[in-house]
Amino acid sequence: MTFPTKSLLSAPLSRRGWLAAAAGLCLGLSTFAPARAADDTIKIGILHSLSGTMAISETTLKDAMLMLIDEQNKKGGVLGKKLEAVVVDPASNWPLFAEKARELITKDKVSVVFGCWTSVSRKSVLPVFKELDSILFYPVQYEGEESERNVFYTGAAPNQQAIPAVDYLMNESGVERWVLAGTDYVYPRTTNKILEAYLKSKGVPAGDIMVNYTPFGFSDWQTEVSKIKTFGSAGKKTAVVSTINGDANVPFYKELGNQGIKATDIPVVAFSVGEEELAGLDTKPLVGHLAAWNYFESINTPANKAFIKAWHAFTKNPKRTTNDPMEAHYIGFNMWVKAVEKAKSFDPDKVIAALPGIKQANLTGGVSEMLPNHHITKPVFIGEIQADGQFNVVSPDDPKKARLVPGDAWSDYLPGSKDLESDWVKLKCGNYNKVTKKCGGQAS
Amino acid sequence: MKPFLLTGTLNRSATIFLAIVATAGVLLPALNLLTPDASALHVPTYLVSLFGKYVCYAILALSIDLIWGYCGILSLGHGAFFALGGYAMGMYLMRQIGTRGVYADPVLPDFMVFLNWKSLPWYWHGFDMFWFAALMVVLVPGLLAFCFGWLAFRSRVTGVYFSIITQAMTYALLLAFFRNDFGFGGNNGLTDFKDILGFNVQADGTRAALFAASCVALAASFLICRAVVDSKLGKVLVAIRDAESRTRFLGYRVESYKLFVFTLSACIAGVAGALYVPQVGIINPSEFAPANSIEAVIWVAVGGRGTLIGAALGAVVVNYAKTVFTSGPLAPYWLFLLGALFVLVTLLMPKGLLGTWHAWYGRRKPAPTAGATPSDETEFAGEIAKPHMAE
Amino acid sequence: MIPRLAVPLRVLSRALSLLAAIGLAAMIATATAARAGSFADAVALFAAGSFSDSADAVSQIETSGNPLALPIVNALHDGRLYADEASKTVVIKQPDGKVINAATGAPAAMPADAGVVRLNNKLRRRIAAALGSLTLLAADPETRIQAARAVYKSHDAAALPLVEAALRKETNAAAKNALGDARAAILLFKPDAAEADKLDAIATIGARGDQEALALLSSIPGNLSPAAAKSAQSAMQAIKSRLALWSMVQDAWYGLSLGSVLLLAAIGLAITFGVMGVINMAHGEMVMIGAYTTFVVQDIIRARYPAMFDYSLLIALPLAFLVAGLIGILIERSVIRFLYGRPLETLLATWGLSLILQQAVRTAFGPNNREVGNPSWMSGAFDLGHISITYNRLWILCFALATFAVLLAVLRFTRFGLEMRAVTQNRRMAAAMGIATSRVDALTFGLGSGIAGIAGVALSQIDNVSPNLGQSYIIDSFMVVVFGGVGNLWGTLVGAFSLGIANKFLEPFAGAVLGKIAILVLIILFIQKRPRGLFALKGRAVEA
């Protein structure tokens, strides 16, 4: 690269330069001009990362949404209007999530947005949805401690995943010693805090709980796994509760397999490992390790079979797996359709008012309901990893008769939130304090 | 190179640049606030925030160009100073939330409440006052840059070694800020801001004001950088860039010059970060990611290294391209486009956009002054270790 | 030891199925009618569908003495035991595909609605223990040792007479040893065992001195006599202090292993960046391409020639080298050759290339992780003293060193190496001597990229194979090269291993995150001390 001294000397910006600059600016602005939607289509925003670190999980959800919208259009759309998907790529970049959300709502005028995976992406778009008063369906299990008017949480709250899993290990396998291993971010932190409090309330001494955090994308698990091994050889039945996130899981399980930690010795129960993650692993050494979800591809119901079949046809790939967040989108999307039909309007305020109380059959044989706290009721399944990369449901005995657990936004096991309650129907408040009888978070 | 000739003519394009910034700073907010929504001239609020973001990136690019373009110091960790400034502002904004957080704790931010913290950590004190936070915006990045630079320049760490350790610095900070125990909200960072100086951050008026403030900051940073590079100090910096050892043998204290300009640059980056945070509404450790810092360097290269205007232009162009590419039918392929942009700019426009523009413009008009020849390739020798084993 | 269990159980069950097939006819003949009733009831429990019924069934069958017991438990373990809930029929599907009735051993047809009897971890543990006691008297000594180990783990008091009987008959020293341990373990947990027996047992277990022994000793039920409790305490103390020492060795091994990973990731960069001066941001993507080549090779092998799976990596190695190397040459010819002498432009262009390559792989293979399996010779672990060494880490260490040695040899002893050194040291002089410098440039870049590619083959064994793979190694790779000293291969070697070992010794104290931060800070401070890395080049190149 040479230094443009000569050219700078000879090139004072003239009137022509000014004109060019102005033209450029106008051109730039014009591409942002709101696209006017055709009157007979309703736009639906899809806000999932298609590149960057989260693409690995989120791309599938984009495809699932496209399929759901496609199927709805084949059924004649909603209220006589066709649906149109608007796909953007927030590129696993959190500020970009906020920017794209704003763009979807203001420029593309979408009626509803389905999106986000990580908690931070949700936190990043929250103010945008509040300010512009739109609707977000969030499909991923998360740490709870949140309930917003504009957000509908179709993934599991901690009481719909973590606590039932621990109960299972305690009762079925007689586990007495616990390793709470997680990636160092808010979901594992909160979940582990809740679990620690819960275990202590069940009489587990502090010495029998080991909490351990590792960074994102951690790949050298030798020391950590051997620590778990040592902790597990204190003579009591030990289990690992893993909130290890995405990318770090594959090397973690590979190391477990190689160091010979079998599920019969120290079972690992994971909350972020589903069919998708297992697809990248040789699961033979992992048979018997567990995962807790609200949906498993292997659950044999007519609805699920039809869904899987449609998915394979839509993606033209008979091997594509389905997973829990996809089912959450399935439930959320259908609930939204029903709410629009009930409200006879696409207006966000009316749809938000119509959503609580909407019931939608889930894929595992139950009927989920949108609760006043904007969370839904879900069944909880514990599955064991099988050699074919699928899960074998070990609890409840008959998956089709699983009890539905209502999602709890505010955990009863955290000192800060045990007095809080969320009810957008009667109280019109996401964080009502039962002791002070006040709704927090409002203008002081 | 004939610096004295440079000054006179460059002042002219500088004026034009400042005029554009000023026009944008007045026009955009005015069109946003004063025209009705339906008007063809109306600028929607999200565009104001979006351009505000670009302007902040432009300030960051200026700060990088100041050290890289004029002093040959390539920092691959400048995002760290940007993020630190952002965090300082974010902490102020967090303290402003007060009882409006979800747990309604008057002092502690929400994330501390659910991590069960009982009291505010010592380093969060004072951030409820704007003047203190504003001071920290400049002071914290400046201090870090000073300490870091003092160590590095004194022991004559140069070239690629310096670049890599700046990357190590930002990477270490990234890991540290990811830790929830560190007390900055971990991966979620700081978000859900309510007020700035008593105004609602989400109100159109505040956004417009923030945009205008960013434009003012851009103009001010530009003037500061301009003043530095036009002064005698600036000449020494260029001398260091082109032949560090020779400058040292001429009796200049090279490390003091480098340290000054590096610290100044970090302060400017901190200001950029502080303005960035209220406009995008979140500050999170991923701003420390080494990839972000590399990208910022690329903006400068795309715009034209060693031309302050080019750096600002590059930041806006690349980010604008990113905004356009990540929506619509191109969304799944935008990385191809961005990648191709970087490769093509390097191959076809080695002087960056501005340099190429000038070269093209200059060919059409005979050069008015003789004697100003482009410097040769050796100018870059100082900034990267000569990679070949011997020459 | 825990880690050894993976392979042996598989071996065990394979051996057992064979046994079962051969001896089946004889067994059926000797099955007594008297026992058939209760045995059939026990077998029918498998059809009840719940895990606890299945566990009961295993316990009853284990002690039934029926010759079908072993085939049934074995089939259950392998997932070949089918049950029909409605008709309460339980059948075994033999490895050869034939179906027999589990209760009688008579040939049968597969019931229409039969499903595999489901397992959970509790049941799996029960099965392992049952298989242990059922095979204590097997003909093969290795099977007997495994059986004894299984009993040792389960320390089920019911197996004591069996163990003692086996111990009396045993002639194989290793098997005798294992049986002795099993007996001691049972006695430890037997509440009514004699005091002397308990003391003996504590001594026996204590002598094992490993993690598992410690676990066993610390979980002895509380009714110990003071003397026994005291000796258990001191045995535990002894084990603990010995293990503390061993943990140092373990950390060192982990450090070596991490170092080898760093070395592999960095060694290609040591060529493209260290020797050629290209700030090669697309280096990580070359590693990724190597990993994806491995995936493609394994995919084809899985589909067409499953028997060759163990050789998949050997096939992938040269292919990965070629694929990554050719892409490297392509990049060099089309982009980088225009940028020599302007290293920062190479940063910009290769960053753009890395984005393109990432997205290309994402488009071609999808954004998800791809499964790359470990061949059998890279699975599992073995014990060296009291540390367990996993085969895949060991092979990667060997492989990293071998790659390094070969690369060094190529540079030192081949004509290409000579030309490469000549060109990088003095391009003009080399050209004057008749070396085609641009060809050498292309080949050098190809070599660096190819080596990154074969690193990808190795890293696919321990990490995600996803489009993000390269990104996670690029920073570490640059750190290693710069720490070791740019342009010096030995520096890269020493740098990689010292960073790896330092990291692993810090990790137990500081935790994974702080450990890593500490390493980064150390690198920053170290560069202050030695501004040109560990092995600085001397000569005119230094002051550029």
Of the candidates A43, A59, A39, the residue with the CA atom closest to the CA atom of residue A103 = A43
> For residues B385 and C539, what is the distance between their CA atoms, to the nearest angstrom?
13
Task: Find the CB nearest C345 among A1, A172, A261.
Answer: A1
Does residue C56 carry a pLDDT above 50? yes
Selected for mutation to probe chain C from B73, B242, B318, B342 (highest C CB count within 10 Å) is B342
Does residue C266 carry a pLDDT above 90? yes
ipTM over cut 0.90: no
Residues of B in Cβ contact (< 8 Å) with C421: 389
Q: Looking at residue C537, what is its pLDDT?
A: 66
Instruction: Return the number of CB contacts < 8 Å for B and C.
Output: 174
Long-range contacts, C212-219 (Cβ 8 Å, 24+): C212/A233, C212/C1, C212/C2, C213/C239, C214/A233, C214/A234, C214/C239, C214/C240, C214/C243, C215/A232, C215/A233, C215/A234, C215/A235, C216/A235, C216/C155, C216/C185, C216/C188, C217/A235, C217/C188, C218/A234, C218/A235, C219/A234, C219/A235, C219/A236
Interchain contact, B389 vs C541, CB within 8 Å: yes
Of the candidates B205, B216, B249, B252, the residue with the CA atom closest to the CA atom of residue B232 = B252
Q: Chain B: list its partners (3+ Cβ pairs within 8 Å).
A: A, C
Query: What mean pLDDT, rounded, does chain A reach?
Result: 86
Q: Which residues contact B231 (CB under 8 A, 6 or more apart)?
A: none
Interchain contact, A172 vs C120, CB within 8 Å: yes
Interchain contact, C528 vs B297, CB within 8 Å: no
End-to-end CA distance of chain C: 58
DSSP-assigned beta bridge partners for residue A87: A46
Q: Looking at residue A39, what is its pLDDT?
A: 64
Q: Looking at residue A25, what is its pLDDT?
A: 47
Note whether B293 and B76 are within 8 A (CB): yes
HSE of C124, CA atoms in CB hemisphere, 13 A: 21
What pLDDT, in 10s, does the model give residues C69-86?
Answer: 888 888 888 888 888 888
Element (H, E) at A75: none
Residue B157 backbone phi and psi in degrees, to 5: -80, 120
Interchain contact, A259 vs C3, CB within 8 Å: yes
Distance of residue C131 Cα from the nearest chain A Cα, in angstroms: 14
> Other CB atoms closer than 10 Å to residue B121's CB: what's the count?
12
Question: Residue B6 — very low, low, confident or very high, per pLDDT cuts 50/70/90?
Answer: very low
Q: Looking at residue A81, what is its pLDDT?
A: 92
DSSP 8-state symbol, C210:
S
Q: Looking at residue C11, what is its pLDDT?
A: 54
Convert C185-200 into a string of H (helix), E (strand) and C (coil): HHHHHCCCCCHHHHHH
Pairing of strands A381-385, A290-293: antiparallel
Residues of C in Cβ contact (< 8 Å) with B157: 527-528, 531
Model pTM? 0.86
Token pair of B139 as six digits: 């002071």
Interchain contact, C544 vs B152, CB within 8 Å: no
Q: Which range, of B1-5, B284-288, C299-303, C330-334, averages the lowest pLDDT?
A: B1-5
Distance of residue A32 Cα from the nearest chain B Cα, in angstroms: 8
> For residues C177 and C145, what is the distance between their CA atoms, to the nearest angstrom?
9
> For residues C486 and C535, what is the distance between their CA atoms, to the nearest angstrom?
8
Q: Chain A: list its partners (3+ Cβ pairs within 8 Å).
A: B, C
Question: Residue B232 — very low, low, confident or very high, per pLDDT cuts 50/70/90?
Answer: very high
The DSSP annotation for B95-138 comes to HHHGGGSTT--SSS-HHHHHTT--S--GGGTTTTSHHHHHHHHH
Q: Which range, of A267-276, A305-314, B37-46, B227-236, averages the lowest pLDDT?
A: B37-46
> For residues B252 and A178, what is the distance between their CA atoms, to the nearest angstrom?
63
Note whether A154 and A185 are within 8 A (CB): no
| A285 inside 8 A of chain C by CB | yes
Nearest CA in chain C to A260: C3
Residues of B in Cβ contact (< 8 Å) with C524: 148, 151, 165, 168-169, 172
Question: Residue C34 — very low, low, confident or very high, per pLDDT cuts 50/70/90?
Answer: very low
What pLDDT, in 10s, does the model give residues B295-327?
Answer: 999 899 888 888 899 999 999 999 998 888 888
- Rounded to an integer, the average pLDDT of C333-356 is 87
Q: Is the peptide bond before A302 cis (omega within 30 degrees of 0)?
A: no
Question: Residue C17 — very low, low, confident or very high, per pLDDT cuts 50/70/90?
Answer: low
DSSP-assigned beta bridge partners for residue A96: none
Dmax (CA) of chain A: 84
Distance of residue B138 Cα from the nearest chain C Cα, in angstroms: 23
Interchain contact, A234 vs C359, CB within 8 Å: no
DSSP-assigned beta bridge partners for residue A369: A359
Helices C489-529 and C471-484 pack at an angle, to 10 degrees, of: 80
Task: Find the CB nearest B180 among A89, A99, A189.
Answer: A189
Task: Find the CB nearest A89 among B13, B334, B374.
Answer: B334
**DSSP-based three-state secondary structure for C382:** strand
Of C277 and B123, the one with more pLDDT: B123
Token pair of B3 as six digits: 């610096």
Distance of residue A281 Cα from the nearest chain C Cα, in angstroms: 5
Of the candidates B340, B288, B345, the residue with the CA atom closest to the CA atom of residue B314 = B345
Residues of C in Cβ contact (< 8 Å) with A265: 2, 5
Interchain contact, B155 vs C531, CB within 8 Å: yes
Note whether B310 and B355 are within 8 A (CB): yes
Of C36 and A422, the one with more pLDDT: A422
Residues of B in Cβ contact (< 8 Å) with A93: 286
Query: What mean pLDDT, rounded, does chain B reach?
Result: 85
Distance of residue C445 Cα from the nearest chain A Cα, in angstroms: 22
- Rounded to an integer, the average pLDDT of B329-354 is 85
Interchain contact, A119 vs B99, CB within 8 Å: no
Task: Find the CB nearest A260 among C6, C120, C392.
Answer: C6
Please list, residue by residue across B148-166, b when 16 or more beta carbons sit within 10 angstroms of its beta carbon and e when fewer do: bbbebbeebbbbbbbbbbb
Tokens 């995919």 found at? C299
| B182 inside 8 A of chain C by CB | no
| B362 inside 8 A of chain C by CB | no
DSSP-assigned beta bridge partners for residue A420: A433
Note whether C499 and C519 are within 8 A (CB): yes
Interchain contact, C541 vs B291, CB within 8 Å: no
> For residues A88 and A50, what is the distance between their CA atoms, to the nearest angstrom?
8
Element (H, E) at C65: none
CA distance readout (Å), C410 to A261, C232, C322, C418, C537: 41, 59, 16, 9, 21
HSE of C272, CA atoms in CB hemisphere, 13 A: 38
Q: Looking at residue C455, what is its pLDDT?
A: 94
Share of chain A above pLDDT 70, in %: 90
Amino acid at C251: D
End-to-end CA distance of chain B: 25
Distance of residue C452 Cα from the nearest chain B Cα, in angstroms: 20
**DSSP-based three-state secondary structure for A47:** strand
Q: Looking at residue C31, what is its pLDDT?
A: 44
CA distance readout (Å), A127 to A268, A348, A375, A410, B280: 37, 16, 19, 20, 10
> Other CB atoms closer than 10 Å to residue C65's CB: what's the count?
10
Question: Residue A52 — very low, low, confident or very high, per pLDDT cuts 50/70/90?
Answer: confident
Does residue C223 carry a pLDDT above 80? no
Task: Find the CB nearest C124 among A184, A258, A264.
Answer: A264
Residues of A in Cβ contact (< 8 Å) with C211: 229-230, 233
Q: Looking at residue A259, what is its pLDDT?
A: 84
- Rounded to an integer, the average pLDDT of B8-34 is 83
